[in-house]
Amino acid sequence: MTDPRYDVIAIGNAIVDVMAPCDDDLIDELQLAKGGMTLVDDEGAAKLYAAMGPAREISGGSAANTLAGMAALGAQCAFIGQVANDQLGDVFAHDIRAVGIDYDTLVREGDPATGRCLIFVTPDGERTMNTFLGASTYLPKEALDEKLIADAGVLYLEGYLWDPEEPRSAMRRAIDVARNAGRKVAFTASESFVIDRHGDDFRALIEDGKIDIMFVNETELATLTGEDEFDAGLKALDGKLPIIVATRSAKGAVAVANGTRAEVPAQPIDEVVDTTGAGDLFAAGFLTGHVRGESLERCLEMGAICAAEIISHYGARPEADLKELVK
């Protein structure tokens, strides 16, 4: 097997984040699920946008955020995701290429528009996300560059994108391409509601040995395994996954690889400003360490450092020099 051209290629939602601070009263007034992620339609997105205060726009999407973190750490990455031929589509393509990620997915003509995530950030740093997926839900198998997928050490898949039928079919094909090429497959569960809808699919992928690295938080772990107790959830997956990585917010993170367990605390920071993208950047640090052959504990440490950087400011893309931080 030849050395890969890319460390990681990811498939995920191509979304532009629209972020604004707010107080808890506005969350209650809009009847939003604080701290969660809710899917909204075009009309709902317009209503929420009108209720927002001054906002910042920056390219987002879970897997794209992870790649941005990896690129900042010096990894070679490529992304596959669908945007529309519109202004936000141009913004997304420019931003992701500007950080050094290869992105060549053809734009989609017509409706719906490029996806966007309206993020309300309360004073405690909690983010409440409301996502209009738009064009990203129409990623077809024909958009896959199979040679590119086969030429990446790790294929990284975003659970959020498993929900729509068309990109789910594309990701199934991508898994087969990666496995046939002898590459690894990493998967992030993304959110418990995704597991509620597609848990049988995820469990089947695990049982069939098609996932090498699984990222979950402790709530997602409980939903995936049916075990409310954290260690019982890890034990339920013992021997079924080469690597399981579980984040626990302020309690740090745990990984189990072929029976070996490692654990790290959360990195201390002065103030939690915005938790948007914390899990995405944790995955960035962990995967970068993994493709470089670092120890399991070091991979977790790199993930915790990247997550701490991202929650210290607004937005899901790093602002500090991650290379210096992980040293």
Q: Is the dihedral of CA 231, 63, 131, 20 positive or negative?
A: positive
> What pLDDT was estimated at residue 58?
82
**Pairing relationship of beta strands 152-158 and 102-103 according to DSSP bridges:** unpaired
> What pLDDT was estimated at residue 257?
96
Rounded alpha-carbon distances, angstroms, from residue 23 to 34, 82, 117, 127: 11, 33, 18, 11
> Could you give all domains of the chain from N- to C-terminal order, each with its CATH number?
6-13+61-112+136-326 (3.40.1190.20)
> What pLDDT was estimated at residue 15?
92
Q: Which two tokens stand for residue 70?
A: 């990896």
Rg (CA), the chain: 18
Residues of the chain with pLDDT under 70: 1, 274, 314-315
Rounded alpha-carbon distances, angstroms, from residue 92 to 25, 220, 259, 299: 31, 28, 40, 29
Is there a contact between 60 and 15 (Cβ–Cβ < 8 Å)?
yes
> What pLDDT was estimated at residue 1?
66
> What pLDDT was estimated at residue 320?
81
> What pLDDT was estimated at residue 290?
98
Is there a contact between 322 and 277 (Cβ–Cβ < 8 Å)?
no
> What pLDDT was estimated at residue 315?
67
> What pLDDT was estimated at residue 303?
96
